[in-house]
Amino acid sequence: MHFFCKCGFRFSDAGDSIPYKARILADQDVKELVEILEYGEQPHNDDLELFAPACDLIEKSIFQCPECGRLYVEDNDYSFLQFVPCEDAQPSEEVNKHLLISVHGNRWRGFLYGDWKNPKPEYSEHKGYIEPMVNMQFDNLCFDNYTDFEDRYYELFDELVKKDVIEYSALRVNGVKKHTWSRD
């Protein structure tokens, strides 16, 4: 699923750990979730599924545009209600545009991916891309020179491991894994 913000930003709902998406747990449903977790904690013989009923409680999503800060809250009929950020009742873009990141904030552990394809595929603007899935901002991670690409990947890898903010890292060159690392 994807949709466009009023400002043009493209929201994509594909994949995990999307930094601009969160799930809504209604306060009215907290008790039910706690009961499911407590039940799972007790020794039991029932072949009861706990995962699905827990997921059903957090099915509604909320998205925030990282460009303009607009919020899109899922309605009960799978449409989205749009909210424009305001300060003193006036629309304002000077707001936190990362409201929906993990409760662990900058310490949330994500992933680092580097991908190099030569020759450059038609759908791609550059040969190499580095994607740090962490709650930190990095610029200029598109490459057309392999040495620059690889140097930057290992530089970022060292930095993110040192900061203890990644679980996994992988460098792919023409579809072959050249480097992988996992925290455990």
Q: Which is nearer to Zn ion, 101 or 170 (CB)?
A: 101
Q: Which of 7, 30, 34, 37 binds Zn ion (CB under 5 A)?
A: 7
Distance of closest approach, residue 25 Cβ to Zn ion, in angstroms: 25
Q: Is 86 in the site for Zn ion (CB under 5 A)?
A: no
Q: Where does this chain touch Zn ion (CB under 5 A) — which range of 70-78, 90-98, 99-107, 159-167?
A: 70-78
Q: Is 67 in the site for Zn ion (CB under 5 A)?
A: yes
Q: Which of 36, 65, 133, 156 binds Zn ion (CB under 5 A)?
A: 65
Q: Which is nearer to Zn ion, 87 or 148 (CB)?
A: 87
Q: Per-residue DSSP letters for 48-72?
A: ---HHHHHHHT--EEEE-TTT--EE
Please state, as a whole number, how many other Cβ atoms lie within 10 Å of the Cβ of residue 70: 20
Q: Is 5 in the site for Zn ion (CB under 5 A)?
A: yes
Q: Where does this chain touch Zn ion (CB under 5 A) — which range of 57-65, 74-82, 145-153, 171-179?
A: 57-65
Please state, as a whole number, how many other Cβ atoms lie within 10 Å of the Cβ of residue 153: 25
Q: CA 26 → CA 51, 56, 58, 69, distances in Å?
A: 18, 12, 8, 22
Contact map string, positions 124 to 163, toward Zn ion, x by CB under 5 A: ----------------------------------------
d(CA 45, CA 139): 52
Q: Is 26 in the site for Zn ion (CB under 5 A)?
A: no
Q: Is 100 in the site for Zn ion (CB under 5 A)?
A: no
Output 50-58 pairs: Cβ under 8 A, ≥24 positions apart.
57/25, 57/26, 57/29, 57/32, 57/33, 58/23, 58/24, 58/25, 58/33
Evaluated on CA atoms 65, 71, 74, 78, the torsion sign reads negative
Q: Is 9 in the site for Zn ion (CB under 5 A)?
A: yes
Which residues of the chain form contacts with Zn ion (CB under 5 A)? 5, 7, 9, 65, 67-68, 70
